Chains A and B, each alone.
Chain A
């Protein structure tokens, strides 16, 4: 059983550059979530999809952030004009369609470092 896959594992970029991360959920999981985790903190919710529909976005998700899930399978998270404060671990999770009580399965995350 393949788990949630995230690519890349690490991304180092200069301030002002655009970055894109990819998440492949567990097959047959129709819900997909993005979280951000900074050092010493718990993950903070960014957004989630049910199939291809983006159902909720956090106020943390400024207009520089955009997430897509065009075919209801993999998802991308893009950050435009990166800032120092964007340095964090970006976690993706997925869950099956059986109900809200289903646990979310997390990937290894993408660690973003802004120089």
Chain B
């Protein structure tokens, strides 16, 4: 069975600085997708960025980028120029290539200090 591990329960960063959130996963499949979702307090979960396993190029979305290391089964999220609005729970998620369900990690709570 696939698993997703987020080993950092909490992280903090100063405004305008860069922070990296870690995620590792375990799978025997070669076809899959990886996602980072953001869940602000008492608000809905929104997609931050996604990565297809067959793509070697790391995905980027404005200030958000990933470091996808397929052999190491690592999928970290880098947030550049952190903003106060980035404060939230961040969840890493895995989706197999032949099923629709998402498997989530336990999340990392990111605090951003002015």
Contact = CB atoms under 8 A, between A and B. Distances in A.
Contacts of A74: none
Interface in A10-57: 31, 33, 35, 40-45, 48, 50, 55-56
B44 A31 contact: no
Interface in B24-70: 33, 35, 37, 43-47, 50, 52
Contacts of B47: 103-105
Nearest to B48: A103
Interface in B91-114: 91, 93, 95, 97-107
Contacts of B101: 33, 45, 48, 56, 58
B43 A108 contact: yes
B67 to A, nearest CB: 20
Contact of A103 (B44, B50, B97, B106): B50
A3 interface: yes
Nearest to A104: B102
Interface of B: 4, 33, 35, 37, 43-47, 50, 52, 91, 93, 95, 97-107
Given A42-B4, A48-B100, A100-B100, 12 more contacts: A4-B44, A41-B106, A41-B107, A43-B45, A48-B101, A100-B95, A100-B99, A101-B95, A103-B47, A103-B50, A106-B44, A108-B44
Interface of A: 3-4, 31, 33, 35, 40-45, 48, 50, 55-56, 58, 91, 95, 100-101, 103-109
